[in-house]
Amino acid sequence: MNSYERVLATVGHRQPDRTPLQWFGTDEVAEALRSYMKAETIEDLFVKLGIDFRGVNPDIVKAHPIPPHIEEKYGEGVEIEVTCYGAVLVKAARFPQAHRVYGPFFDTDDLDSFDWPKVSDIESVEAVRPGITRLNEQGYCTLVRADNPFKIAYFMRPYEEFIMDCVAREDYAFELMSRIAEIEFAMAANAVKAGARVAMIGGDFAHQNALMMSPKTFRKVLKPLLVDFASQMKDINPEVMIFLHSDGDLSQVLGDLIECGIDAVHPLQPESMDMFDVKRRYGDRLTLFGGVSVQSELPGSDPEVIRALVRQRIEQLGENGGFILAPTNTILDDVPLESIEAMYLEAQTVRASSGV
C-alpha cells in the first residue's frame, strides 16, 4: 500500500498493511532528528520515519500591524506575530503555539470594526494544485488543516468573555465564529478542490478533564459549524476524509462528532480519555488518531519503553484499522531523539490483528 491507500483503508475500518503515521514536532526537534538519523533533508527524514501525511494549506495573505501598546509593553527582542485575524501572539521558548496577548475584540465587541480577511485573500486553487498533485502522485495522503472557528474566536476576544458569549449571547458568538468559518472553510475548500485527500479542522474546545462549555452549548454554537465544514468538503469531493483535532476530554461529544461527519479524532490523550474504551464503543465508526502522549509518556523516555508502548497501542487500537499513530501534540526538546526514532521505526514493523 502507498500512504493514501493505507490511510483510506484505516479510516474505512479495513486492515492496512501497517498503521499510518503522522508527525507533530517543532522545527527545531525535526532538524535535530534529521541530523541524528543522518537524513539529508526534512523530507528525507519523513520518508525514514514512514510519515504518511503531507500538509498542503493554501496561504491566507492578510497583514495587520502590531498594536503600538503591545510593542511598548513587550519592547525589543521579543518575537511578536499578528495573525490574519488580528490576534497578537508572543512567541516563547518551548511553547510553539505562542501566547495570545491581545485581539481585535478585546476593547470592543463590534464585529464590523475589524478589517476582516476576505475569500480573495486566500491562495487560489490554481496556485496550490501543482504541489498537491505532485504529492498525490507520489502516493502521500495530502491534508489541509482549517483552524476551528471556536479557538480563533477566543483568540480574537478575551477567553472568559467569549465563553460567556456562548452562553449568554449565543447569536453574537455564532456570528463571530461564522465570519471566521467563512475564511477557514474557503481556505480548506481551495485545497480540497485542488485534490487534498483529508480536510482537518483543528483547535481546542476541551480542557484536560472536561469540555470548555456544556454539551448543550456545544450543540448550539459549535456543532452546526462542524456539520457545515464536513458538508462543504464532502460536496466538493465525497471521498475526502474529515479529521478533527482538539486536546482534552471529548468523551461527552464523541457521538456528536460522528454525527457531524468526522472520520477521525486527534489526539485521544491518555490523560483525558480511556482510549481502549473509546475503541470498544466507537471503533467501528471513528478512527482514533494519536495515542502516544507528549505529556506523560514521551518526555525523558527510554526507547525500549516507547517500543513496547507502540506495540501495545497498535495491537489494541489498530484491530480492523481505525487507528493512526502519532504524538498527542507537538514534540518538544524534552523528548530524547532516540525515543522519537524508536516510536516511528517500531510502528512500521508492528501488525495489528485483523480480528478474524
Place of cell 504518511: 52
Q: Average of pLDDT values for 186-197? A: 98
pLDDT for the residue 33: 98
Return the pLDDT at 351.
80
Look up residue 233 and give its three cell numbers. 468538503
Question: What is residue 91's predicted lDDT score, i.e. its pLDDT?
Answer: 86
Please tell me the predicted confidence (pLDDT) of residue 213. 97
pLDDT above 80: residue 293: yes
pLDDT score, position 353 = 60
Q: Which CATH architecture has domain 3-62+119-347?
A: Alpha-Beta Barrel (3.20)
pLDDT band at 352 (very low <50, low <70, confident <90, very high): low
CA distance 260 to 218: 12
% of the chain at pLDDT higher than 70:
99
Cα Rg of the chain, angstroms: 20
Residue ranges covered by each domain of the chain = 3-62+119-347, 63-116
pLDDT band for 78, please (50, 70, 90 cuts): confident
**C-alpha to C-alpha distance for 264 and 152, rounded to whole angstroms:** 21
Q: Could you write out the DSSP letters of every residue in 94-155?
A: TEEEEEEEE-TTSS---GGGS----GGGBPPHHHHHHHHHHHHHTT-EEEEEEEPHHHHHHH
Report the pLDDT averaged over residues 119-133.
98
Model confidence at 356, pLDDT cuts 50, 70, 90, reads: very low
Distance CA 131, CA 126 (A): 10
Confidence of residue 119 (pLDDT cuts 50, 70, 90): very high
List pLDDT tens digits, range 16-60: 999 999 999 999 999 999 999 999 999 999 999 999 999 999 999
Angle at 82 between CA 79 and CA 84, to 5 degrees: 150
Three-state DSSP class for residue 202: strand
Average the pLDDT over 68-96 and give the result: 88
Confidence check: pLDDT of 354 > 70: no
Residue 48 CA to residue 37 CA, distance in Å, equals 9
Q: How confident is the model at residue 160 (pLDDT cuts 50, 70, 90)?
A: very high
Q: Is 68 exposed, middle or buried (0-12, 13-18, 19+ CB in 10 A)?
A: exposed
Give the amino acid at 341: E
Buried/exposed code over 264-287 (b: 16+ C-beta within 10 A; e: otherwise): bbbbbbbebbebeebbeebbeebb
The rounded Cα 311 to chain-centroid distance in angstroms is: 24
Q: What is the mean pLDDT of residues 250-258?
A: 98
pLDDT for the residue numbered 95 = 75
**What does the pLDDT look like over 135-149, one tens digit per residue?**
999 999 999 999 999
